[in-house]
Amino acid sequence: MAKKKPEEGPLNLTPDMLHTAARMEDRFNGWLQNRATDHTYQRTVMAYDTYGGTGWVRVLGRLVLTPTGQPAADLQASIRGWKSFVSVPLPNDTAWVRVNDEEHMVTADRGGIIDTVIPGDFQPGETEIELWTDGSLVDSAAVRIIGEDSTFGIISDIDDTVMVTSLPRPFLAAWNTFVLSEHARSPVAGMAVLYDRITYMRPNSPMVYLSTGAWNSALTIKRFLSRNLYPMGPLLLTDWGPTTTRVFRSGKEHKRNSLERLSREFPWMKWLLIGDDGQKDEEVYGEFVDNHPDNVAAVAIRQLTVGEAVWAGGRSKRHGRGQGVPWIYAPDGAGLSSRLTERGIISTI
């Protein structure tokens, strides 16, 4: 097993400092909640598309206060980025989920995020969950039930893989996230066609989008994917703010943990891992290949342009290889499609 390098980014703090950071966030959220209640904000549930196995479903959602109480915006709407962040989280609150005509109570975490597993008996394919809380509208989300007959899936990064964001550059990231209209964000050339081709050639393949983006941006990302004709699938995002071990969450650790979880949940699956060469994906995917070579069909890396690489802080110095897993590089979806076809990865089984 490869030895892990020291984690880059925010440093761990002492327990006292960590608890202080968490308390400060909780007090701020409490102040926001009181202000929102005074301004007649309404309790709102946002249900997120998710996945499951034949004996369970992973429920993903968020409990918030919003001005209108509407759980989602029009998929064709043009919305300024900052509007994705005006909702106020409802920490440690309860909600109800209905799946297979059965209702279950679930609890949100301190950021209002619901992420829990509901047991049950499910058939492979598509189903739906409904989620609501006291005084809210009911929101629904699609669920992909993955059976053991499904042996190939796609896990894709989002930033600079399907969407040009130049996210690692702080000021430009802030502009892209909080100011620009959603329609100002550009798709990466050829990637939607590539994903559509893969899912057409392998129609039972689940599609999962794994990103270090915040849950606040989930609906923004979903609208972007829909408008640009990407196959829809669950978003595995993270939450900003302090944790029990860090002032800010580690995006790299989020990706590592998500990949490890998927390998435990679906040990028979082979995943096509798709990302970019902007510092992190090659390292995270490489570690996963080292640890779970039997769970990886191939790794496809989109090479950033010179300008994108500068904004991303440079390119990764790691070039993937080893464990008998193909590593494929190209600057766009057309190039990746050609190389994946040459390797026989885009083909019917």
Question: What SS3 class is residue 186?
Answer: strand
Same domain, 52 and 120: yes
- Quote the distance between the C-alpha of residue 14 and its chain's center: 29
Place 296 in a pLDDT band, splitting at 50, 70 and 90.
Answer: very high
Same domain, 132 and 182: no
Higher pLDDT, 71 or 142: 142
Enter the tokens of residue 115. Answer: 């992420």
Amino acid, res. 56: W
Average pLDDT on 103-114 reads: 93
Same domain, 285 and 193: yes
What is the pTM for the complete model shown? 0.82
Place 137 in a pLDDT band, splitting at 50, 70 and 90.
Answer: very high
Examine the pLDDT at 115 and tell me if it is beyond 60: yes
Q: What's the pLDDT at 39?
A: 55
Same domain, 238 and 326: yes
Instruction: Give me the CATH number covering residue 68.
Output: 2.60.40.10
Angle formed by the axes of helices 333-342 and 191-201, to 10°? Answer: 30
Average pLDDT on 243-265 reads: 79
Domain-ending residue, one of 143, 171, 194: 143
Higher pLDDT, 19 or 304: 304
Q: What's the pLDDT at 247?
A: 43
Task: Annotate 288-317 with DSSP letters as a single string.
Answer: HHHH-GGGEEEEEEEPPPHHHHHHTTS--S
Specify which of 3-7, 171-175, 254-258, 345-349 reaches the highest per-range mean pLDDT: 254-258
Amino acid, res. 315: R
The parent domain of residue 47 ranges over: 41-143
Same domain, 295 and 162: yes
Same domain, 205 and 303: yes
User: What are the tens digits of pLDDT across the range 169-227?
Assistant: 455 555 555 545 556 678 999 999 999 999 999 988 999 999 988 888 888 889 889 99
Rounded to whole angstroms, the Cα distance separating 325 from 31 reads 51
How does the average pLDDT of the chain come out, rounded?
80
In a domain, 9, yes or no: no
Amino acid, res. 76: Q
Examine the pLDDT at 128 and tell me if it is beyond 60: yes
Same domain, 51 and 176: no
Specify which of 67-81, 156-170, 265-279 reaches the highest per-range mean pLDDT: 265-279
Q: What's the pLDDT at 66?
A: 84
Domain-ending residue, one of 122, 143, 164: 143
In a domain, 15, yes or no: no
Rounded to whole angstroms, the Cα distance separating 54 from 149 reads 11
In a domain, 31, yes or no: no
Higher pLDDT, 267 or 9: 267
Instruction: Give me the CATH number covering residue 231.
Output: 3.40.50.1000
Choice among 125-129, 139-143, 238-242 with the minimum mean pLDDT = 238-242
Let me know how many helices (H) and strands (E) the chain has, helices first.
8, 17
Count structural domains, the chain.
2
Same domain, 138 and 194: no
In a domain, 346, yes or no: no
In a domain, 332, yes or no: yes
Average pLDDT on 317-330 reads: 79
Q: What's the pLDDT at 307?
A: 59
In a domain, 30, yes or no: no
Same domain, 307 and 185: yes
Q: What's the pLDDT at 245?
A: 46
Domain-ending residue, one of 89, 117, 143: 143
In a domain, 8, yes or no: no
Q: Which stretches does DSSP call E strand in 37-132?
A: 42-48, 50-53, 56-66, 88-89, 94-99, 102-107, 113-119, 125-132
Same domain, 225 and 107: no
User: What are the tens digits of pLDDT across the range 47-64?
Assistant: 999 999 999 999 999 999
Place 26 in a pLDDT band, splitting at 50, 70 and 90.
Answer: low
List CB contacts of 317: < 8 A, sequence separation 6 or more: none
Same domain, 104 and 248: no
In a domain, 348, yes or no: no
Same domain, 196 and 303: yes
Higher pLDDT, 76 or 154: 154
Q: What's the pLDDT at 67?
A: 81
Q: What's the pLDDT at 223?
A: 87
